[in-house]
Amino acid sequence: MHDTKTPETPPAPAMGAAPLRGLAFLLAALSMLGPFSVDTYLPAFPEIEATLRATSLEVQQTLTAYMLSFALMILWHGALSDAFGRRNVILAALAVFCVASLGCAAAHSIEYLWAFRILQGVSAGAGIVIGRAIIRDLYAGAPAARLLSLVTMIFSVAPAIAPILGGWIVKLLNWRAIFLFLFLYTALLIYFCYKRLPETLPPAGRQPFNARALAQNYRRVFGSPLFLLKAGTVAFNFAGLFLYVAAAPVFVTRHLGLGPDQFAWQFVPTVAGIFLGALTVNRLAGLLSIGTQVMIGFAFLLGAGAFNVGYHLFAPAALPWSVLPLFFYAFGMAVVAPGVTLLVLDLFDDIRGIVASCQSFTQMLLAAAVSGVLAPLLAPAVLWLAAGQLACAVIGFLLWLAGWSYHRLLHRREMNAWETVPIE
């Protein structure tokens, strides 16, 4: 199948407004598992260092271990759901995450914490990947964009709640209680998914799960220049935001001089930007072309990055100026992401689960590199963090422009090919 094919819009399922909102809340709750796994324990880094007698770098690597395993396994969630059904794979992944969370809570050495964080990473990505496939199974075009943006709006509260909740848990209890909270949250997800999550991929539409078929499908996706350019657009935009997430323990406590229960100063503006950006997309769906929507988003991304660098060239870190650009960056990212994500999923409509996995893999692999390499290098100076974020936005913009130009080139070639076909 040619990767520029646009699938026909499937008939919308017979869902009322209330069931649709219920599905959005459930998919958002599944997606929240990732941010909760990352952001909730960030305020606990100093206590983990003291309790496990580990260095700050070793504790930082618990995040890197999670992100790497998350990125690698995310390649398989979609393929498994294409073969065995969306619902079954989500339930199995949630069960594994429950076990991993209990293991993290009981860890008595940094090596054990690494191991169980890897197990968490292996299972945490199923909800966000398969959730995108479920949305695209049910809807296309503007309805899909509206549902995806609604999920994003609900999901966006997680990065704001998580570090605040983690800070209070550490202050009132200890770092182990954070992982017990994750266990209880996941147990509730298992219950509600078992009761309410529909199966959107019937057996007749499933793909064979064998090495040859999988290798062929992965080659199709990763061999597509349009996939690499469009997925790279979303990945680099997210990397610019995740750079500040990974550097939050240093940015909040050292540069801004705040305490472990004051992470809201960084995360609330970020989440407010994501929420309002998703709300904007929800309202504009069907009114503007995806191209226009993306360009508006990049105006905010690049503008916020440029202001951030310009301010810290001449002034030290200070509230609110050091966190205000994060609001506008997150807003622009949330405006860009839904439209580009749908374009990616539509490249190969017969293997949407695998496509969703491959897109999430590129995003999480880059985020893992940011967490393990870029954040430790840039965190010592706020100006370096700002420059790193701007560089990510610029790369994302260049990838979008390259993908748009390549798509137009392919379209012209197809039109020329049709014009040269002889008429009998």
Domain-wise residue ranges, the chain? 18-200+212-410
Q: Residues 257-295: pLDDT tens digits?
A: 887 667 778 878 888 898 888 888 877 777 778 788 899
Residue 105 has pLDDT above 80, yes or no: yes
Q: At 423, is the secondary structure helix, strand, or coil?
A: coil
Handedness of CA 162, 155, 327, 367 (dihedral sign): positive
Percent of the chain with pLDDT over 90: 24
CA-to-CA distance for 344 and 106, rounded, in angstroms? 40
Which of 42-46, 53-57, 277-281, 322-326 has the highest average model confidence (pLDDT)?
Answer: 322-326
As assigned by CATH, the class of the 18-200+212-410 domain is: mainly alpha
Q: Residues 353-366: pLDDT tens digits?
A: 778 778 888 887 88
pLDDT band at 81 (very low <50, low <70, confident <90, very high): confident
Residue 227 has pLDDT above 80, yes or no: yes
Q: Residues 171-224: pLDDT tens digits?
A: 888 889 999 999 999 999 999 888 888 777 777 777 777 778 778 888 888 888
- CB atoms under 10 Å from CB of 302, counted, come to 17
- CB atoms under 10 Å from CB of 102, counted, come to 15
CA-to-CA distance for 41 and 179, rounded, in angstroms? 8
Residue 417 has pLDDT above 70, yes or no: no
Residue 393 has pLDDT above 90, yes or no: yes
